[in-house]
Amino acid sequence: MNYRKLMEDWIAAAWRARAAAFAVVALALAGCASTGDLPAPAAQQPKNIIIMFADGASSTQWDFGRYSSQVLRQRPFATTDTVFRSGSLGLVSTQPSNAYVVDSAAAGSAMSTGHKVNNAAVAVTPDGKPVPTAMEVAKATGKRIGLVTTATVYDATPAAFSLHAISRRDSQGLVDQYLELAPDVLMGGGADFFLPAGTPGGKRKDGKDIIAAFRAKGYQVARNPAELNAATGARLLGLFAEEDMDFELDRDPAREPTTAEMATAALRVLSRDSPNGFILLVENENVDTAGHANDAASLMHALWAFDDAVGVALEFQRRNPDTLVIITGDHETGGFSPTYAQKDLSTLSSKNRFYTGDEQLRMLGRITISLNGVKEKLGKKPSGEVLDKLIAEHFPGFKLDPDLRELILTQKPLERNFTYVPQNLLGRMVARQSGYYWGTSGHTPEPAVVGAIGPGAELFRGYQDNTDFGKHLHRLISGR
């Protein structure tokens, strides 16, 4: 299939439509001048759009961010307290073409293109047709574009907002497409598929060095926070990890920037020489990864890191009111269920019950490692001695029940829908004492919450489909 030809045809059509739209606006303005009437109110078109994207977050995650930030940080949570409260609020249904439960590729594709696709497809419909992504539309209409994530830059969400592939697993092909699309800002993990196999951290099979190819196109390249903060060029490639960037609990601040630091740098670069404005996607993927692991402590820190970046976006909007800020997730991850529960099974009496609250939240706040970090430290053959030591050191106040300990040491799951071992078992340990239970290690069909503030925000109000989100985005970008 010749994607390139299809896209060229499409971009040419977009330019023709844009010229036509200008003609219509000119006519409308000429009409006003002669009659003295004001032009009919159209959907307000923002100059800049910032999409803040917490993969795997829906209403329970957002409310947990608000509650935990208030109790443990004594700080408001900008997502709920500012954007959801003062902006437009909506829900979007998420099902893909070929299932009820969605993956991030199909969810991101619908939100970027306005079309339903199959799970794992990246902006390619079930009949094999690539459909224009939000970033392609933005580029065709003369806007600058940027993609920021804590995942690999070729991961499902940033890819679905900009590129095309039958399968999201085509990492090398997706990186090649980035070089061709040339986003003004591209930042996250995933240096592995930019570098040839045989070089440190490289996995490419064709021997190419794509970091060098970006440099040759005039990009500044940042590989750590110091280089990121010093970047002053007009185009920026930031690669801070070979694969995904770390959870906040495990992150080395000298090696990897925060989501807020990446958002700050992206806005600095994109707002330079930007007469037509820009569209920026900032994704925190660790919200989703923590959900898969059933890791409530890592989820909490990921939500805070995300919300700090929302603060950066809102501050930019304060200085540039022609900016629309959208906050969203793509689906819910983990069936996250903070609840009340029995302290143990000695009696089912309500006297033996606890409601999760501040005391249990403080226990989460004292955890000092992610559950993925525990897996790494346990290695391929977990030993009881290492396991007990890790729990004593990093999970103060928690005890591992014998049933869970046995499953971890024999590397067996609790159930068929808890496929991450040992993370989901450790997640259950945390849940039994804190009430932060989870229903699955996968995604759920809970509708995604969309909050929007700024020009055009009203389009996102109410209960809609995720393809409507994509259609609104295209309309706001292209003015059609």
Question: Are 238 and 226 within 8 A, CB to CB?
Answer: no
Least distance CB 103 / Zn ion (angstroms) = 7
Residues 149-208 that bind Zn ion (CB under 5 A): none
When the beta carbons of 106 and 400 are compared against Zn ion, the nearer one is 106
Listed ranges 66-74, 197-205, 258-266, 280-288: which one lies at the site for Zn ion (CB under 5 A): 280-288
Least distance CB 183 / Zn ion (angstroms) = 23
Least distance CB 39 / Zn ion (angstroms) = 44
Question: Are 112 and 150 within 8 A, CB to CB?
Answer: no
Q: Please give the Cα distance from 286 to 25 (Å, whole number).
A: 43
When the beta carbons of 66 and 292 are compared against Zn ion, the nearer one is 292
Least distance CB 463 / Zn ion (angstroms) = 23
When the beta carbons of 113 and 333 are compared against Zn ion, the nearer one is 333
When the beta carbons of 69 and 157 are compared against Zn ion, the nearer one is 157
Q: Please choose, from the candidates 83, 16, 29, the residue with its C-alpha nearest in 3D space to the C-alpha of residue 307.
A: 83
Q: Please give the Cα distance from 262 to 276 (Å, whole number).
A: 22
Cβ burial, residue 47 (10 Å; 0-12/13-18/19+): middle
Listed ranges 283-291, 316-324, 372-380, 456-464: which one lies at the site for Zn ion (CB under 5 A): 283-291
Listed ranges 86-94, 196-204, 282-290, 294-302: which one lies at the site for Zn ion (CB under 5 A): 282-290
Q: Please give the Cα distance from 479 to 354 (Å, whole number).
A: 53
When the beta carbons of 136 and 288 are compared against Zn ion, the nearer one is 288
Least distance CB 102 / Zn ion (angstroms) = 9
- With tokens 């992206």, the residue in question is 266
Plot region of 371 (φ>0 → left; ψ -120 to 50 → alpha; else → beta): alpha
- Count, residues near Zn ion per rule CB under 5 A: 1
Q: Please choose, from the candidates 60, 124, 109, 270, the residue with its C-alpha nearest in 3D space to the C-alpha of residue 183.
A: 270
Listed ranges 217-225, 275-283, 284-292, 350-358: which one lies at the site for Zn ion (CB under 5 A): 284-292
When the beta carbons of 150 and 323 are compared against Zn ion, the nearer one is 150
When the beta carbons of 291 and 456 are compared against Zn ion, the nearer one is 291
When the beta carbons of 108 and 277 are compared against Zn ion, the nearer one is 108
DSSP string for 402-421: HHHHHHHHHT--SSTT--ST
Least distance CB 382 / Zn ion (angstroms) = 25
User: CB within 8 A of 140, min separation 6: which ones?
Assistant: 10, 11, 14, 15, 18, 478
Listed ranges 251-259, 275-283, 288-296, 347-355: which one lies at the site for Zn ion (CB under 5 A): 288-296
Residues 239-268 that bind Zn ion (CB under 5 A): none
Least distance CB 291 / Zn ion (angstroms) = 7
Residues 78-137 that bind Zn ion (CB under 5 A): none
Task: Give the three-state DSSP class for 389.
Answer: helix
Task: Give the residue at shortest CB distance from Zn ion.
Answer: 288
Least distance CB 442 / Zn ion (angstroms) = 8
When the beta carbons of 287 and 387 are compared against Zn ion, the nearer one is 287
Q: Please choose, from the candidates 146, 229, 247, the residue with its C-alpha nearest in 3D space to the C-alpha of residue 187.
A: 146
When the beta carbons of 222 and 282 are compared against Zn ion, the nearer one is 282
Helix (H) or strand (E) holding 436: strand 436-438
Least distance CB 175 / Zn ion (angstroms) = 21
When the beta carbons of 118 and 317 are compared against Zn ion, the nearer one is 118
Listed ranges 170-178, 285-293, 423-431, 432-440: which one lies at the site for Zn ion (CB under 5 A): 285-293
DSSP string for 11-55: HHHHHHHHHHHHHHHHHHHHHHHHH-PPPPPPPP--SEEEEEEET
Among 288, 307, 308, 465, binds Zn ion (CB under 5 A): 288
Question: Are 178 and 154 within 8 A, CB to CB?
Answer: yes
Q: Please give the Cα distance from 254 to 262 (Å, whole number).
A: 14
Least distance CB 336 / Zn ion (angstroms) = 13
Q: Write the secondary structure of 256-274 as one string of H (helix), E (strand) and C (coil).
A: CCCHHHHHHHHHHHHCCCC
Least distance CB 292 / Zn ion (angstroms) = 6
Footprint of Zn ion (CB under 5 A): 288
